Amino acid sequence: MRRMSALWLCCPCPRRLAFRTLVRRYGCELCYTPMVVAADFVRSAKARDSEFTTNRGNGGKYIAAFLECFMY
């Protein structure tokens, strides 16, 4: 039987790269992103660049949370 191990995670994780780097340094293995508006993310390169950034030292696993807004 395979034994499960604990996983350190941070949610929701702020967009700020400095904070994600800090929690990684203290052992966080998985981070959730804050809610990202899907329509803006798809339409705008500026939105993609500003919503989520990373660097080589901030590697690891992320779960991206996308929000879809419907206007009726």
Q: pLDDT tens for residues 8-40?
A: 877 766 667 778 778 888 888 887 777 788 888
- Bigger pLDDT: 16 or 46? 46
How far is 16 from 20, CA to CA, in rounded Å? 7
How far is 29 from 5, CA to CA, in rounded Å? 12
How far is 43 from 69, CA to CA, in rounded Å? 14
Amino acid 55 reads: N
The two three-digit tokens of residue 37, written as one number:
């508006």
What pTM was estimated for this model as a whole? 0.55
The two three-digit tokens of residue 14, written as one number:
């702020």
